[in-house]
Structure 1
Amino acid sequence: MPRPPKGRSRAEERRRLEDEAARVEVGDSCDVCVLGAGAAGLAAAIASAEAGASTVALERGLSCGQKILATGNGRCNLSNRDLDFSRYNDPAFVAEAAGTRFGEDVVSLMEGSGLIVAEEDGRLYPLSKQAASVRDVLLARARRAGALLAPGREVTRVERCGQDLRVRYALACGEGGTARERSIYARCVVVALGGGTPLPALLGCGLGLETRPWEPVLCPIACSGAGRLLGELDGRRVHVSALLVRGGSEVAREAGEVIFRPYGVTGIVAFDLSRRCRPNDALVLDLAPGHSATELRRAAGAAGQARGRGPTREAGRATQAAAARLHGFLDPRIASALAREAASGLAGAPTEEAVLERALALAKGLALAVEGPAEPKRAQVSRGGLVLAQFSPRTLACRSVPGLFAAGESLDVDADCGGFNLAWAWKSGMVAGAAAAERALSRTGA
C-alpha cells in the first residue's frame, strides 16, 4: 500500500483505496484479461490495449504498479545496457522470446511513455532516479490506451468456458472489508502474477499446467564457519572476488561489493550467487582482488620494517601487531577481525609472524559454509512458476490451453541483478500482450 499522505493514517488510506477499487466497474467480458498489474502486467496491458483489444488488468493490491516502487532500492534499475542472455536461467528461451531488439524495445517502451532513461555503470534508471516516475508514466499510458486497471481484485481461479476463459476473482470492497466473488469472461488471458502466487491452485488443477515451486533468489546468503568474524564485521563493506565451490569444483564466480552480516553476507555479489548456491557449498572471498598473496606479503613486510620493532611473542600484542601490518590494504576493522580469527586458530601463544601469515591467507581466501538463503521474505525475485516447456517462446502462448499467455515472474525465468529481471518483465509483457490481442481480435474479425 502506498505511504499515506501527511495527516492520514494507514487505516484511513486503506479504506480510501478500497472504496476507489470498489468504484471501478469491470464488466463481465473483455478481449484480453491481464492477471496482475505489476511490471509485466502493465506492459502487457499497454501492448494489448494499444493493439485495439478491450483490456482489463486485475491487480490483487490496492494500487497498480506498487511493486515497481520497491525495485532498485526505490530507484528502479529498469534494464541494462548489455542484456546478455547468459545471465538468465534459460538463455535460449529468453533469447527467442526477447528477440534481437531486447534492450531497444525496453527503452522504447519507457521513452514512448514519456520517461527519460539515464545510464549509470551500464545500468539503466529513470533520469529522476525515482521508481515512481516509471510507475506513473506506465499507468498513464495504459489508461490513455483504454486499458481498465482494476486494483483490489484477487484472482482465485482460471477455467475453460467454451472458447473463452473465465477468470474468477474476489473484490475487497470498502464496505466492512467483505469479499465478493465475481467472474469475467475473456477471449485471452495473460498471467502476469508475481512470485509466491499459488499458481497450482489458480491454473494447475483446472487447466493441467505444470509449475515449479517458488524459491527466493536475489537475497542475502546465510553462512557459517568463520567463528565470531561475521558478527564482528557486521555492516562492513568490502570489494571482493567471490568463488562458489561445490564438491571441490567451481560453480560460479562474481566480483563486487559484499556486506558482512552476523548471519552471512549480503550485497550484489551475494544476491547474484544466491541464484546458484546450495547448502554445504563453500563461499570463498578474496578480500584483496587483483593483488597476489606475494604483493600483500611484501606490503605487510614493509609495514613491519617501518615500525622498527622486533617480533613479539605475547599473544595479544602479537595479534595487534599483525593486524596493524594489514592496514595498508585492508579496512582496519576487517584487518583486526582477521588477525583475531587467525590467532584463534593457532595453538599456544602464536608469534606475530604466524598470526600475520594466517591472516594473509584468510584475506586471500576467507571460506564460509553456505547454509542457504537469508531473509527470504526480502528476496528481490522468486524463482519458479510455470514450466517453460509449456509455452511458445515467440508468443508466450500456452501450448495446451488456447488463449492463455504468461509473462514476467509467472514464468520460470530469473536472472542476475542489474536490471535483467525487470527487462524480462517489460519485454515478456509486451510480447504476451500483443500476441493475446492479435488472437482475441482475430476471433472477433476486427
Structure 2
Amino acid sequence: MYEDQTSKHHELFIIGGGAAGLMAAVTARDQGIDTAIIESNDRLGKKIITTGNGRCNITNQSTATGTDEAVALSHKYHSNQSGFPIHVLRQFGVRQTIEFFSSLGLPFVSLENGRMYPMSLQAASVPGVFKLALEDRNVPVYYKHKVLDIIVSEEHPRFTIKCQTETEELVEYTSEYLFLCTGGLTAPKTGTDGSGYTLVERLGHTMIHPVAGIVQLKLDYPYLKELSGIKFEGLGHIIVNNEVIRSEYGEILFTDYGISGPPILQLSRKAAYNLGRGESVTLSVDMMPERTEEEVIDFLETHWAIFGHRTVADAFIGIISKKLIPVLLKEAGIDQQVHLLCEDLSWKTKKIFYRLMKRWEFKVADTNSFTNAQTTAGGIDTIDLVEGTLESKIVPGLYLAGEVMDVDGDCGGYNLQWAWSSGHVAAMALAKRRAGTT
C-alpha cells in the first residue's frame, strides 16, 4: 500500500536531477512555479561530474558567432524529426546559456575548438552552483526516490507519481504538471538506466530504438593487438552500401578491440544505426588526408626511387608509426623476413600500399556499450511532442527535456547544450501556459 500520510504535492514535479532537470527547476521557480525534484541518486548532477574528462564541457561557442546561431547550432544535432531541435535552440542557445550560468555565479573559460568549461575546470562546480541556486529558491529535492509509475487523471491533481524510497517505503507525490528529465541509457552507474523510457511509453508515447552514440567502434580485423595504441591525424569515413554517409577528421586511435578518437566518436552514430538495421558497415581510414591520391602515389614513388636500396620496412620509417609497418607489410602480402627492397616492389604491391594510405578499410562489427558511450541516440519520438514547447501531444501537462527524447548532439558540449536548452524552454513554455499567453 502507498502511505497517504507521506504524500506531498507541488504544482510541478521534475523527475530527474541531471542537467536538463536542474535547468528546468531553476527556470520554473524563477517564473513563480511551485517546483520540486525527484532524484534517484543521493546527490544532484551525478552524470555531469563525469563529463568532459572531469571538467564538464558545458557548451560550445563555435556556433555563436554567425548571423543565425540556431541554424548553425542545429546542424550539430540528430533526430528522426530533423527539424525539431531548431525550434528549441532558437529560444535558448549558447549565448543565453553563458548568460544564465553567469547569473548563477559560474563563469566560463573557452578552450580548444570553442569548447567551454567552468573556469575552475572542475565538473563538480556545475551541480555545485545548481545546488546553491535551488537552496536560494527553496526548491525541495527528494533524493533516493525511484519512480515506479505515473498515473494520469482528468481530475486535479493531474499526476500521481508512485515512488520507492531507499528504505523500500512506497510513497506518492502529486502535481498539476510533470517534467520527465530522466536521461537515456549512457553511464548507467550514474542512474541513467533507461527507466524513463518505460514511464513515458506507458503513457502512450512511442520510442525510437536507442543505440550508443559518441562511442568507440569495434572492428572485425585480425591484427588489432599489433595496432593497439597507434594514433595519427587522419580522416575517417563510414561507408554503407558503397556510399560514404559521413566523414570526420582528427586524431584516430587504434585499440585492442577496434578504433577510437574524436572522429570515430562522431561517426559512431551512423555506424550504430546502420548496424542495427542489419546493414554491412565499413570504416575507411585516410592516413594521408592532406594529400590527394595522386600526390600520395607521386610521394611514395619518389621516396622508393631515392631509397631503392632500402627494405620496404625501413623506407616507411619516419613516414608512419614504426609499430604500424609490420601490419602494412602483412596487408601487402610481404614476408618481413624476406627483407624485400623498394626497388624490387611490384606494381601490384605498390597499388596495395597506395590504397592503404588513402582507403584502408575495416569491417565494423559493433560499437562499445552504453557504459562507454557519451550519449544515447534515439529515445522518445519527438513526433509526439509540440515543437518549441516540448509538451506531450498525448498527455497535456507532461513535458520532456534532455536525453530522454530522440535528440542527440555531436561531441564537443552539444549534448549538454541540448539539456540546458530543452530544460529552459520547457519551463518557459509551462510558465506561458499558466499565464495564458500561449
CA contact (8 A) 1:235 1:260 kept: yes
CA distance in 2, matches of 1:351, 1:26: 82
Q: Which residue of 1 aligns with 2:373?
A: 379
CA deviation after TM superposition for structure 1 residue 155, in Å: 1.0
1:181 paired with 2:173, answer no
Q: Which residue of 1 aligns with 2:208?
A: 212
For residues 29-428 of structure 1, what are the structure 2 equivalents within 5 Å?
Answer: 29-81=9-61, 82=63, 84-90=73-79, 91-99=82-90, 101-120=92-111, 121-161=113-153, 162-163=155-156, 164-172=158-166, 178-196=167-185, 197-205=194-202, 207-224=203-220, 226-228=221-223, 230-277=224-271, 278-279=274-275, 280-304=280-304, 307=307, 309=309, 321-343=311-333, 352=342, 353-354=345-346, 355=349, 357-428=351-422
CA distance in 2, matches of 1:292, 1:339: 22
User: Could you tell me which amino acid in structure 2 is paired with residue 244 of structure 1?
Assistant: I
CA deviation after TM superposition for structure 1 residue 244, in Å: 1.1
CA contact (8 A) 1:31 1:440 kept: no
CA distance in 2, matches of 1:48, 1:100: 15
CA distance in 2, matches of 1:39, 1:227: 41
Q: Identity, % of aligned pairs?
A: 26
CA distance in 1, matches of 2:400, 2:312: 58
Residue-by-residue CA offset, 1:66-86 (whole Å, 9 max, x unaligned): 100111111111111115212
Report which stretch shifted further, 157-166 or 401-410.
157-166
Residue-by-residue CA offset, 1:376-421 (whole Å, 9 max, x unaligned): 3211111222210111122111112121001001111112111111
Residue-by-residue CA offset, 1:304-359 (whole Å, 9 max, x unaligned): 4554727xxxxxxxxxx21332233322222343233323599x996642455523
Report which stretch shifted further, 398-407 or 372-381.
372-381
CA distance in 2, matches of 1:326, 1:351: 12
CA deviation after TM superposition for structure 1 residue 298, in Å: 4.1
CA deviation after TM superposition for structure 1 residue 96, in Å: 0.7
User: Could you tell me which amino acid in structure 2 is paired with residue 198 of structure 1?
Assistant: S
CA contact (8 A) 1:190 1:406 kept: yes
1:436 paired with 2:430, answer yes
Q: Which runs of 5+ in 2 are unaligned?
A: 64-71, 186-193
3-state SS in 2 of match to 1:238: strand
CA contact (8 A) 2:307 2:315 kept: no
CA contact (8 A) 1:227 1:341 kept: no
Q: Which residue of 1 aligns with 2:68?
A: none
3-state SS in 1 of match to 2:270: coil
Q: Which residue of 2 aligns with 1:7?
A: none
Question: Cα gap change, 1:308/1:263 in structure 2, threshold over 3 Å: closer, same or farther?
Answer: closer
Question: Cα gap change, 1:113/1:359 in structure 2, threshold over 3 Å: closer, same or farther?
Answer: same
The root-mean-square deviation of aligned C-alpha atoms, in Å, is: 2.5
Report which stretch shifted further, 298-307 or 248-257.
298-307
CA contact (8 A) 1:97 1:428 kept: yes
User: Could you tell me which amino acid in structure 2 is paired with residue 203 of structure 1?
Assistant: V
CA contact (8 A) 1:301 1:325 kept: no
CA distance in 2, matches of 1:323, 1:79: 45
Residue-by-residue CA offset, 1:105-145 (whole Å, 9 max, x unaligned): 21122211111111122111122222111221122112212
Question: Cα gap change, 1:256/1:28 in structure 2, threshold over 3 Å: closer, same or farther?
Answer: same
CA deviation after TM superposition for structure 1 residue 363, in Å: 1.7
Q: Which runs of 5+ in 1 are unaligned?
A: 1-24, 173-177, 311-320
Question: Cα gap change, 1:402/1:193 in structure 2, threshold over 3 Å: closer, same or farther?
Answer: same
3-state SS in 1 of match to 2:423: helix
CA contact (8 A) 1:403 1:439 kept: no
User: Could you tell me which amino acid in structure 2 is paired with residue 309 of structure 1?
Assistant: H
So what's the TM-score if we normalise by structure 2? Answer: 0.85
So what's the TM-score if we normalise by structure 1? Answer: 0.83
CA distance in 2, matches of 1:74, 1:339: 40
